[in-house]
Structure 1
Amino acid sequence: MILHIKFMVSLCCKKIVQAVFDEHNIAYKSIELGEVDLKNPITTEQREQLKIALLKSGHELMADKRAILIERIKTALIFLVRDAEQHPKMKHSDYLVQQLDYDYTYLANLFSEVTGVTVEHFIIAHRIERVKELLLYDELNLTQIAESLNYSSVGHLSSQFKKVTGLTPTYYKKLKHKKRIILEDVGIV
Protein backbone atom coordinates (compact mmCIF):
# COMPACT_ATOMS: atom_id res chain seq x y z
CA MET A 1 0.00 0.00 0.00
CA ILE A 2 1.42 3.38 -1.02
CA LEU A 3 0.56 6.62 0.75
CA HIS A 4 1.21 9.93 -1.00
CA ILE A 5 2.49 12.87 1.00
CA LYS A 6 2.43 16.51 -0.07
CA PHE A 7 5.30 18.95 0.57
CA MET A 8 7.85 16.15 0.89
CA VAL A 9 10.52 17.64 -1.33
CA SER A 10 13.87 17.16 0.37
CA LEU A 11 15.92 14.68 2.36
CA CYS A 12 15.10 16.66 5.48
CA CYS A 13 11.38 16.19 4.78
CA LYS A 14 12.01 12.50 4.25
CA LYS A 15 13.58 12.20 7.71
CA ILE A 16 10.69 14.09 9.32
CA VAL A 17 8.10 11.84 7.66
CA GLN A 18 10.11 8.77 8.64
CA ALA A 19 10.07 9.94 12.27
CA VAL A 20 6.28 10.36 12.14
CA PHE A 21 5.80 6.80 10.86
CA ASP A 22 8.27 5.43 13.42
CA GLU A 23 6.55 7.33 16.22
CA HIS A 24 3.19 5.79 15.26
CA ASN A 25 4.72 2.30 14.87
CA ILE A 26 3.62 2.00 11.26
CA ALA A 27 5.89 -0.36 9.34
CA TYR A 28 7.01 0.68 5.89
CA LYS A 29 9.03 -0.90 3.11
CA SER A 30 10.45 2.37 1.88
CA ILE A 31 10.10 6.12 2.10
CA GLU A 32 10.78 8.15 -1.02
CA LEU A 33 10.09 11.79 -1.76
CA GLY A 34 6.33 12.13 -1.95
CA GLU A 35 5.40 8.56 -1.03
CA VAL A 36 5.62 5.89 1.61
CA ASP A 37 5.29 2.22 0.71
CA LEU A 38 3.70 0.46 3.69
CA LYS A 39 4.33 -3.15 4.66
CA ASN A 40 0.69 -3.60 5.73
CA PRO A 41 -2.60 -1.76 5.22
CA ILE A 42 -3.50 0.73 7.95
CA THR A 43 -6.76 1.28 9.76
CA THR A 44 -8.94 4.37 9.35
CA GLU A 45 -7.90 5.43 12.87
CA GLN A 46 -4.19 5.11 11.99
CA ARG A 47 -4.77 7.11 8.81
CA GLU A 48 -6.40 9.92 10.80
CA GLN A 49 -3.55 9.92 13.34
CA LEU A 50 -1.02 10.08 10.51
CA LYS A 51 -2.95 12.87 8.83
CA ILE A 52 -2.82 14.97 12.02
CA ALA A 53 0.83 14.19 12.76
CA LEU A 54 1.90 14.96 9.20
CA LEU A 55 0.03 18.28 9.21
CA LYS A 56 1.89 19.26 12.40
CA SER A 57 5.17 18.59 10.60
CA GLY A 58 4.17 20.66 7.57
CA HIS A 59 3.18 17.73 5.36
CA GLU A 60 -0.14 16.48 4.11
CA LEU A 61 -1.50 12.99 3.51
CA MET A 62 -3.13 13.06 0.09
CA ALA A 63 -6.04 11.07 -1.28
CA ASP A 64 -7.14 13.04 -4.36
CA LYS A 65 -5.75 11.37 -7.50
CA ARG A 66 -5.17 14.67 -9.33
CA ALA A 67 -3.32 16.17 -6.36
CA ILE A 68 -1.20 13.03 -6.10
CA LEU A 69 -0.30 13.23 -9.78
CA ILE A 70 0.62 16.93 -9.45
CA GLU A 71 2.95 16.09 -6.55
CA ARG A 72 4.49 13.28 -8.57
CA ILE A 73 5.07 15.72 -11.45
CA LYS A 74 6.70 18.23 -9.09
CA THR A 75 8.91 15.58 -7.51
CA ALA A 76 10.00 14.25 -10.91
CA LEU A 77 10.82 17.76 -12.14
CA ILE A 78 12.76 18.59 -8.98
CA PHE A 79 14.81 15.41 -9.47
CA LEU A 80 15.35 16.32 -13.12
CA VAL A 81 16.79 19.71 -12.10
CA ARG A 82 18.80 18.40 -9.13
CA ASP A 83 20.29 15.51 -11.14
CA ALA A 84 20.65 17.39 -14.43
CA GLU A 85 24.10 15.94 -15.08
CA GLN A 86 22.61 12.44 -15.15
CA HIS A 87 20.15 13.47 -17.89
CA PRO A 88 22.34 15.66 -20.11
CA LYS A 89 20.24 15.90 -23.25
CA MET A 90 16.86 14.56 -22.09
CA LYS A 91 13.86 16.76 -22.77
CA HIS A 92 11.68 17.34 -19.73
CA SER A 93 8.66 16.06 -21.64
CA ASP A 94 10.38 12.72 -22.36
CA TYR A 95 11.56 12.50 -18.76
CA LEU A 96 8.05 13.02 -17.36
CA VAL A 97 6.54 10.45 -19.71
CA GLN A 98 9.25 7.97 -18.74
CA GLN A 99 8.85 8.57 -15.00
CA LEU A 100 5.06 8.81 -14.77
CA ASP A 101 3.84 6.74 -17.74
CA TYR A 102 1.26 9.34 -18.86
CA ASP A 103 0.89 11.33 -22.05
CA TYR A 104 2.92 14.55 -21.76
CA THR A 105 0.13 16.79 -23.06
CA TYR A 106 -2.20 15.46 -20.35
CA LEU A 107 0.45 16.01 -17.64
CA ALA A 108 1.32 19.52 -18.83
CA ASN A 109 -2.31 20.60 -19.13
CA LEU A 110 -3.22 19.17 -15.72
CA PHE A 111 -0.18 20.79 -14.11
CA SER A 112 -0.97 24.21 -15.59
CA GLU A 113 -4.66 23.94 -14.72
CA VAL A 114 -4.05 23.02 -11.08
CA THR A 115 -0.96 25.11 -10.26
CA GLY A 116 -1.47 28.09 -12.55
CA VAL A 117 2.11 27.65 -13.78
CA THR A 118 3.42 25.87 -16.85
CA VAL A 119 5.80 22.94 -16.50
CA GLU A 120 8.43 25.03 -18.28
CA HIS A 121 8.13 27.93 -15.81
CA PHE A 122 8.28 25.51 -12.88
CA ILE A 123 11.50 24.03 -14.25
CA ILE A 124 13.01 27.46 -14.88
CA ALA A 125 12.17 28.57 -11.33
CA HIS A 126 13.83 25.47 -9.89
CA ARG A 127 16.86 25.80 -12.13
CA ILE A 128 17.34 29.40 -10.99
CA GLU A 129 17.02 28.36 -7.33
CA ARG A 130 19.62 25.66 -7.99
CA VAL A 131 21.89 28.27 -9.59
CA LYS A 132 21.48 30.45 -6.47
CA GLU A 133 22.34 27.50 -4.27
CA LEU A 134 25.46 26.69 -6.29
CA LEU A 135 26.50 30.36 -6.29
CA LEU A 136 26.19 30.40 -2.50
CA TYR A 137 28.40 27.32 -2.17
CA ASP A 138 31.05 29.17 -4.18
CA GLU A 139 32.62 25.89 -5.31
CA LEU A 140 31.83 26.15 -9.03
CA ASN A 141 32.30 29.00 -11.46
CA LEU A 142 29.45 30.12 -13.72
CA THR A 143 30.64 28.01 -16.64
CA GLN A 144 30.67 24.87 -14.46
CA ILE A 145 27.22 25.71 -13.08
CA ALA A 146 25.85 26.20 -16.61
CA GLU A 147 27.30 22.84 -17.67
CA SER A 148 26.03 21.01 -14.57
CA LEU A 149 22.47 22.28 -15.15
CA ASN A 150 22.57 21.62 -18.92
CA TYR A 151 22.31 25.24 -20.01
CA SER A 152 23.34 25.70 -23.62
CA SER A 153 25.72 28.49 -22.59
CA VAL A 154 26.71 30.80 -19.75
CA GLY A 155 24.94 33.58 -21.64
CA HIS A 156 21.67 31.62 -21.61
CA LEU A 157 22.00 30.95 -17.87
CA SER A 158 22.82 34.61 -17.19
CA SER A 159 19.95 36.01 -19.24
CA GLN A 160 17.45 33.58 -17.70
CA PHE A 161 18.79 34.36 -14.21
CA LYS A 162 18.44 38.11 -14.80
CA LYS A 163 14.94 37.71 -16.26
CA VAL A 164 13.76 35.77 -13.19
CA THR A 165 15.64 37.60 -10.41
CA GLY A 166 16.32 41.02 -11.92
CA LEU A 167 20.01 40.53 -11.09
CA THR A 168 23.01 39.15 -12.88
CA PRO A 169 24.51 35.99 -11.36
CA THR A 170 27.73 37.89 -10.61
CA TYR A 171 25.86 40.67 -8.79
CA TYR A 172 23.74 38.13 -6.91
CA LYS A 173 26.88 36.35 -5.74
CA LYS A 174 28.22 39.63 -4.33
CA LEU A 175 25.08 40.34 -2.28
CA LYS A 176 25.52 39.90 1.45
CA HIS A 177 21.89 38.96 2.14
CA LYS A 178 21.00 36.37 -0.43
CA LYS A 179 17.33 35.47 -0.45
CA ARG A 180 16.37 31.97 -1.39
CA ILE A 181 12.85 30.67 -1.73
CA ILE A 182 11.51 27.81 0.36
CA LEU A 183 11.65 24.75 -1.91
CA GLU A 184 7.94 24.03 -1.55
CA ASP A 185 7.14 27.52 -2.89
CA VAL A 186 9.41 27.50 -5.94
CA GLY A 187 7.57 27.92 -9.21
CA ILE A 188 4.13 28.37 -7.64
CA VAL A 189 2.45 31.74 -7.68
Structure 2
Amino acid sequence: MVSLRCKMLVRDTLDLLKIKYFSIELGLVETVKDLSEHQMVKLAEILKKSGLIILDDKRSILIEKIKNVIVEMIHYTDEPPTQNFSDYLSKKLGYDYTYLANAFSEVKGITIQHFIILHKVEKVKELLLYDELNLSEISYRLNYSSVAHLSTQFKKITGLTPSFYKKLGQKRKKNLEDF
Protein backbone atom coordinates (compact mmCIF):
# COMPACT_ATOMS: atom_id res chain seq x y z
CA MET A 1 0.00 0.00 0.00
CA VAL A 2 1.87 3.05 -1.16
CA SER A 3 -1.02 5.47 -1.58
CA LEU A 4 -3.87 6.83 0.46
CA ARG A 5 -6.26 5.31 -2.08
CA CYS A 6 -4.84 1.85 -1.31
CA LYS A 7 -5.23 2.51 2.39
CA MET A 8 -8.90 3.44 1.90
CA LEU A 9 -9.46 0.34 -0.23
CA VAL A 10 -8.02 -1.90 2.49
CA ARG A 11 -10.11 -0.15 5.16
CA ASP A 12 -13.30 -0.59 3.11
CA THR A 13 -12.47 -4.27 2.48
CA LEU A 14 -11.85 -4.91 6.18
CA ASP A 15 -15.12 -3.17 7.04
CA LEU A 16 -16.96 -5.21 4.38
CA LEU A 17 -15.60 -8.44 5.88
CA LYS A 18 -16.36 -7.18 9.41
CA ILE A 19 -12.70 -7.56 10.41
CA LYS A 20 -11.87 -5.32 13.35
CA TYR A 21 -8.54 -3.52 13.27
CA PHE A 22 -6.49 -1.18 15.43
CA SER A 23 -4.76 0.67 12.65
CA ILE A 24 -4.15 0.80 8.93
CA GLU A 25 -0.92 2.40 7.85
CA LEU A 26 0.63 2.45 4.42
CA GLY A 27 1.76 -1.15 4.01
CA LEU A 28 0.65 -2.45 7.41
CA VAL A 29 -2.62 -3.49 9.01
CA GLU A 30 -2.92 -4.34 12.68
CA THR A 31 -6.03 -6.41 13.38
CA VAL A 32 -7.69 -6.82 16.77
CA LYS A 33 -7.27 -10.60 16.59
CA ASP A 34 -5.63 -13.08 14.25
CA LEU A 35 -7.64 -13.79 11.12
CA SER A 36 -9.09 -17.20 10.40
CA GLU A 37 -7.97 -19.07 7.30
CA HIS A 38 -11.33 -18.26 5.67
CA GLN A 39 -10.96 -14.52 6.44
CA MET A 40 -7.41 -14.47 5.04
CA VAL A 41 -8.51 -16.19 1.82
CA LYS A 42 -11.49 -13.85 1.38
CA LEU A 43 -9.41 -10.75 2.16
CA ALA A 44 -6.66 -11.82 -0.26
CA GLU A 45 -9.25 -12.57 -2.95
CA ILE A 46 -10.91 -9.15 -2.72
CA LEU A 47 -7.63 -7.24 -2.51
CA LYS A 48 -6.18 -9.14 -5.47
CA LYS A 49 -9.00 -7.85 -7.68
CA SER A 50 -7.68 -4.35 -6.98
CA GLY A 51 -4.07 -5.29 -7.61
CA LEU A 52 -3.03 -5.61 -3.96
CA ILE A 53 -1.47 -8.66 -2.34
CA ILE A 54 -1.02 -9.71 1.26
CA LEU A 55 2.58 -10.11 2.31
CA ASP A 56 3.23 -12.46 5.15
CA ASP A 57 6.95 -13.21 5.05
CA LYS A 58 9.13 -10.94 7.17
CA ARG A 59 11.56 -9.93 4.43
CA SER A 60 8.81 -8.82 2.02
CA ILE A 61 7.13 -6.91 4.82
CA LEU A 62 10.40 -5.15 5.64
CA ILE A 63 10.90 -4.16 1.98
CA GLU A 64 7.36 -2.76 1.86
CA LYS A 65 8.03 -0.81 5.05
CA ILE A 66 11.21 0.66 3.51
CA LYS A 67 9.28 1.66 0.38
CA ASN A 68 6.46 3.17 2.43
CA VAL A 69 8.79 5.23 4.62
CA ILE A 70 10.51 6.60 1.51
CA VAL A 71 7.20 7.38 -0.23
CA GLU A 72 5.83 9.10 2.90
CA MET A 73 9.04 11.06 3.36
CA ILE A 74 9.15 12.31 -0.24
CA HIS A 75 5.53 12.57 -1.33
CA TYR A 76 3.61 13.36 1.85
CA THR A 77 5.92 15.69 3.76
CA ASP A 78 6.34 19.34 2.88
CA GLU A 79 9.28 20.00 5.17
CA PRO A 80 12.80 18.99 4.15
CA PRO A 81 14.22 16.15 6.25
CA THR A 82 16.40 17.21 9.16
CA GLN A 83 18.61 14.15 8.87
CA ASN A 84 19.92 12.08 5.98
CA PHE A 85 17.78 9.32 4.50
CA SER A 86 19.92 6.45 5.82
CA ASP A 87 19.71 7.68 9.42
CA TYR A 88 16.00 8.39 9.05
CA LEU A 89 15.27 4.89 7.68
CA SER A 90 17.36 3.21 10.36
CA LYS A 91 15.69 5.14 13.15
CA LYS A 92 12.17 4.73 11.77
CA LEU A 93 12.47 0.98 11.11
CA GLY A 94 14.81 0.01 13.93
CA TYR A 95 17.42 -1.73 11.76
CA ASP A 96 20.99 -0.96 10.76
CA TYR A 97 21.04 0.85 7.41
CA THR A 98 23.49 -1.65 5.90
CA TYR A 99 21.08 -4.49 6.64
CA LEU A 100 18.16 -2.52 5.15
CA ALA A 101 20.16 -1.58 2.06
CA ASN A 102 21.35 -5.15 1.42
CA ALA A 103 17.88 -6.65 1.87
CA PHE A 104 16.31 -4.01 -0.37
CA SER A 105 18.88 -4.47 -3.14
CA GLU A 106 18.55 -8.25 -3.09
CA VAL A 107 14.77 -8.17 -3.34
CA LYS A 108 14.16 -5.12 -5.58
CA GLY A 109 17.27 -5.25 -7.76
CA ILE A 110 18.07 -1.57 -7.19
CA THR A 111 19.64 0.31 -4.30
CA ILE A 112 17.62 2.24 -1.75
CA GLN A 113 19.45 5.35 -2.91
CA HIS A 114 18.32 4.83 -6.52
CA PHE A 115 14.74 4.19 -5.35
CA ILE A 116 14.88 7.48 -3.41
CA ILE A 117 16.24 9.33 -6.45
CA LEU A 118 13.46 7.94 -8.66
CA HIS A 119 10.83 9.13 -6.19
CA LYS A 120 12.47 12.51 -5.73
CA VAL A 121 12.47 13.02 -9.51
CA GLU A 122 8.76 12.08 -9.63
CA LYS A 123 8.09 14.64 -6.89
CA VAL A 124 10.10 17.26 -8.81
CA LYS A 125 7.97 16.56 -11.90
CA GLU A 126 4.80 17.00 -9.86
CA LEU A 127 6.00 20.25 -8.29
CA LEU A 128 7.15 21.63 -11.65
CA LEU A 129 3.74 20.98 -13.18
CA TYR A 130 1.93 22.61 -10.23
CA ASP A 131 4.05 25.70 -10.96
CA GLU A 132 3.80 26.97 -7.37
CA LEU A 133 7.50 26.68 -6.48
CA ASN A 134 10.62 27.70 -8.34
CA LEU A 135 13.54 25.30 -8.79
CA SER A 136 15.42 26.67 -5.77
CA GLU A 137 12.41 26.09 -3.52
CA ILE A 138 11.92 22.58 -4.92
CA SER A 139 15.61 21.86 -4.41
CA TYR A 140 15.38 22.98 -0.77
CA ARG A 141 12.15 21.09 -0.11
CA LEU A 142 13.60 17.82 -1.42
CA ASN A 143 16.90 18.31 0.41
CA TYR A 144 19.15 18.66 -2.64
CA SER A 145 22.52 20.26 -2.01
CA SER A 146 21.93 22.66 -4.92
CA VAL A 147 19.73 23.36 -7.92
CA ALA A 148 22.56 22.05 -10.10
CA HIS A 149 22.49 18.71 -8.27
CA LEU A 150 18.72 18.47 -8.69
CA SER A 151 19.01 19.34 -12.39
CA THR A 152 21.75 16.76 -12.96
CA GLN A 153 19.76 13.96 -11.32
CA PHE A 154 16.58 15.01 -13.11
CA LYS A 155 18.26 14.97 -16.53
CA LYS A 156 19.98 11.65 -15.80
CA ILE A 157 16.63 10.00 -14.98
CA THR A 158 14.31 11.72 -17.49
CA GLY A 159 16.65 12.81 -20.26
CA LEU A 160 15.22 16.33 -19.95
CA THR A 161 16.20 19.43 -18.02
CA PRO A 162 13.71 20.55 -15.38
CA SER A 163 13.00 23.78 -17.27
CA PHE A 164 12.34 21.94 -20.54
CA TYR A 165 10.06 19.49 -18.70
CA LYS A 166 8.16 22.43 -17.19
CA LYS A 167 7.77 24.06 -20.62
CA LEU A 168 6.42 20.78 -22.04
CA GLY A 169 3.87 20.62 -19.23
CA GLN A 170 2.77 24.22 -19.79
CA LYS A 171 2.51 23.67 -23.54
CA ARG A 172 0.45 20.53 -22.97
CA LYS A 173 -1.87 22.38 -20.57
CA LYS A 174 -2.29 25.19 -23.12
CA ASN A 175 -3.09 22.72 -25.89
CA LEU A 176 -5.71 21.02 -23.71
CA GLU A 177 -7.30 24.37 -22.91
CA ASP A 178 -7.73 25.03 -26.64
CA PHE A 179 -10.24 22.16 -26.96
SS at match of 1:31: strand
Report deviation, 1:84. Answer: 6.2
The structure where helix makes up a greater share of residues is 2
List alignment gaps of at least 5 residues for structure 2. 174-179
Q: Which residue of 1 aligns with 2:18?
A: 25
Counterpart amino acid of 2:144? Y
Conservation of the 8 A alpha-carbon contact between 2:80 and 2:143: no
Return the structure number with greater relative CO, CA threshold 8 A, min gap 6. 1
Would you say 1:148 and 2:137 are equivalent positions?
no
After TM superposition, the score normalised by the length of structure 2 is: 0.90
Identity value in percent: 55
Q: Which residue of 1 aligns with 2:150?
A: 157
Report deviation, 1:86. Answer: 4.9
Conservation of the 8 A alpha-carbon contact between 1:85 and 1:150: no
Would you say 1:68 and 2:61 are equivalent positions?
yes
Report deviation, 1:121. Answer: 0.3
Conservation of the 8 A alpha-carbon contact between 2:21 and 2:31: yes
Conservation of the 8 A alpha-carbon contact between 2:69 and 2:89: yes
Would you say 1:87 and 2:81 are equivalent positions?
yes
Conservation of the 8 A alpha-carbon contact between 1:81 and 1:127: yes
Counterpart amino acid of 2:107? V
Conservation of the 8 A alpha-carbon contact between 2:80 and 2:140: no
Q: Looking at CA atoms only, which structure, 1 or 2, has the larger radius of gyration?
A: 2
Counterparts of 1:165 and 1:23 in 2: how far apart (Å)? 42
SS at match of 2:30: strand
Counterparts of 1:137 and 1:119 in 2: how far apart (Å)? 27
Counterparts of 2:35 and 2:85 in 1: how far apart (Å)? 36
Q: Between Structure 1 and Structure 2, how many residues are aligned? A: 170
Would you say 1:104 and 2:97 are equivalent positions?
yes
Q: Which residue of 1 aligns with 2:176?
A: none
SS at match of 1:174: helix
Would you say 1:55 and 2:48 are equivalent positions?
yes
- Correspondence for 1:34 among 24, 27, 41: 27
Q: Which residue of 1 aligns with 2:177?
A: none
SS at match of 1:60: coil
Report deviation, 1:80. Answer: 2.2
Deviation readout 1:75-112 (Å, 9 max, x if unpaired): 11112223262523x11111111011111111101111
Counterpart amino acid of 2:20? A
Deviation readout 1:18-73 (Å, 9 max, x if unpaired): 11111111111111100111122211100110011111111111111111111011
Conservation of the 8 A alpha-carbon contact between 2:22 and 2:32: yes
Q: Which residue of 2 aligns with 1:118?
A: 111
Q: Which residue of 1 aligns with 2:161?
A: 168
Counterparts of 2:134 and 2:140 in 1: how far apart (Å)? 10
